[in-house]
Amino acid sequence: MTFHTLGLSLPLLNAIESMGYNEPTPIQAKAIPFIVKGTDVLAIAQTGTGKTAAFALPILEEFLQFPKRVKANAPRALILAPTRELAQQIFEAIEGFAQHTTIKSAVAYGGVSMVTQTKALEAGIDILVATPGRLMDHMRQKTVDLSALECLVLDEADRMLDMGFIKDIRAILRYCPAQKQSVLLSATMSAEIRGLARSMLHSPKVIEIAPNKDVALIEQTIYRVAQSRKRDLLRDLIVDNRWEQTLVFTRMKHAAARLAHHLEKDGFTVASIHGDKTQSARARALADFKAKKVQILVATDVAARGIDIEELPHVVNFELPANAEDYVHRIGRTGRAGQTGTAVSLMSAAEQPQLEAIETLIKKQLNVIEPEGYASEDEEFLIEEKKAAPAKKKPQERKPRREPRGMPFEPKEKSFARRSENRQRVKKSDIGFDYVLPEFDFDRRR
Ligand code: AMP
């Protein structure tokens, strides 16, 4: 199948060609014929599958075929995205696809002045890309009018629900005309997504793109390491393997800021994107990383969701994500468009349940390595003690002498080491631990 056979007009075909797209991705081949006909669509697809073009191209095709403008600030298509970065990225993609047309688009998100956005709206637009909060601000100030809307797209709907946007979405829907086409894209299918789809889609075409398709080319490794030694291991991995562009994920914004600070002290060039940064600082960090001005970008899931970085060879999970699906999103940043990539996760003992959830989701057992020299001081103490102990002594009869104040010992899952033949036990394999200290993030307690 080619873009030509999908029935797209010459200005779009020329733009696609200049952007280097040779053939449609599966989501594009499946969704474009339906969206172009005006059918409602529910697409289960992740970022990296080419989903932006899958909804943007048919909308542009429709507007090329039937140009009209009712009112300056009344868009014909509205695309809602959960984060500013994703909204900006969608807007840029649309500008690229529409480069040989007169179709106008604008983007509206928080953290920057409303004035420029209002001016762009007043100048007359066909397509508006927005985050829900900022769109509501424009609706309140009557700087946008949704009465002429013909098509509504909700991108990364699952993330919008996770981020608590459901009330805003429902409020926005009330201001949209009942007669319109709706497209809902989500990386995952949950009961909540089904509920939202039922309430906003009419006889939708459901398209599902296999969830772990793009992770096949990614070499995934889990390093089992003490929480307190993660920073050292990360530094050594980057230096020893001569990693250049590396994207590091943390769960919390303060952890991202702290890690970026430490990596800078280690001599790396680092940028970070997280919720405590201003929008211009986030945009600058992303631009610097994309332009290879900085070697490492530290990001939280929320800030980095959906962002697309070409030729990104290394992704590091500084902590395993709480939500297994986020693992696929995070590592999907690398290994794009047939390229290979590496995804490394630093896992403390306390994160073992997250690993199991990830392995269940991706239906694959991951290679777990216990690198030499990165156990915590308490673990090292136990290892030394174990080595010194007489061989006959049964491990379960012994109790470790040291115990951190207020911290009970937890039984270690014996099955951990044996879960897979693939598990590479670099250390402790012949020691036969029965107990390890629970992991402790000393930084968090400060
Ligand atoms: P998306 O899932 O929309 O974020 O797209 C992920 C990446 O794939 C972006 O860098 C797109 O430019 C690229 N892309 C989308 N469609 C195609 C295609 N048909 N051929 C090559 N690259 C594509």
Q: Ligand 1 pocket test: which of 12, 30, 52 has the largest number of ligand atoms within 8 Å of its C-beta?
A: 52
CA distance 323 to 329: 10
The pLDDT value given to residue 36: 95
374 lines ligand 1 (CB under 6 A): no
Output the CA 171–ligand 1 centroid distance in Å.
31
Contact criterion met (CB below 8 Å) for 128 and 152:
no
Type and span of the H or E element at 282: helix 279-290
Q: How far is the CA of 169 from the centre of ligand 1 (A)?
A: 27
Q: Which residues pair with 300 in a beta bridge?
A: 250
> Exposed (0-12), middle (13-18) or buried (19+): which is 10, by Cβ within 10 Å?
exposed
Instruction: Take residue 385 and report the two structure tokens written for it.
Output: 């003690």
**CB crowding 205-242: b at 16 or more within 10 Å, else e:** bebebebeebbeebebebbbbbbbbbbebbbebbeeee
Distance 52 CA to ligand 1 centre (A): 7
For residue 435, what pLDDT is reported? 32
84-97 and 279-290 helices, crossing angle to 10°: 60
Taking the centre of ligand 1 as the mean of its atom positions, its distance from the CA of residue 254, in whole angstroms, is 32
Of 51, 308, 312, the one to substitute when testing ligand 1's pocket (max ligand atoms within 8 A of C-beta) is 308
Q: Note the pLDDT of residue 34.
A: 96
Structure-block tokens of residue 119: 């001016």
**Does the beta carbon of 308 sit less than 6 angstroms from any atom of ligand 1?**
yes
| Domains, in order of start, for the chain | 3-208 (3.40.50.300), 218-378 (3.40.50.300)
Contacts of 1 (CB under 8 A, 6+ apart): 23, 24, 29
Quick: pLDDT tens for 109-161. 998 999 999 999 999 999 999 999 999 999 999 999 999 999 999 999 988 98
Distance CA(55)–CA(153), nearest Å, equals: 8
For the stretch 218-256, pLDDT in tens is 788 999 999 999 999 999 999 988 888 899 999 888 999
* CA–CA dist 162, 169 (Å, integer): 13
Nearest to 86, CA basis, from 251, 256, 282, 247: 282
State the DSSP code for 112: S
| pLDDT < 70: residue spans in the chain | 210-217, 302-308, 310-311, 333-340, 376-446
State the pTM of this model: 0.64
Instruction: Give 42's strand partners.
Output: 184, 206
Shortest-distance atom of ligand 1 to CA 24: 19
Residue 24 CB less than 6 A away from ligand 1: yes
**pLDDT, position 443:** 41
Ligand 1 proximity of 335 Cβ (cutoff 6 Å): no
Q: Give the pLDDT of residue 275.
A: 80
- From the CB of 50, is ligand 1 less than 6 Å away? yes
Whether 188 lines ligand 1, by a CB cut-off of 6 Å, is no
- The whole-angstrom separation of Cα 273 and Cα 287 is 11
Q: Whose CA is nearest to atom 12 of ligand 1?
A: 50
Q: What is the 312 CA–ligand 1 centroid distance (Å)?
A: 14
Position 365 scores a pLDDT of 87
- Residue 94: the pLDDT is 98
Task: Quote the pLDDT of residue 304.
Answer: 66
CB-based burial, 308-325: b 16+ in 10 Å, e otherwise:
bbeebebbbbbbbbebbb
409 sits in the region (left: phi over 0; alpha: psi -120 to 50; else beta) called beta
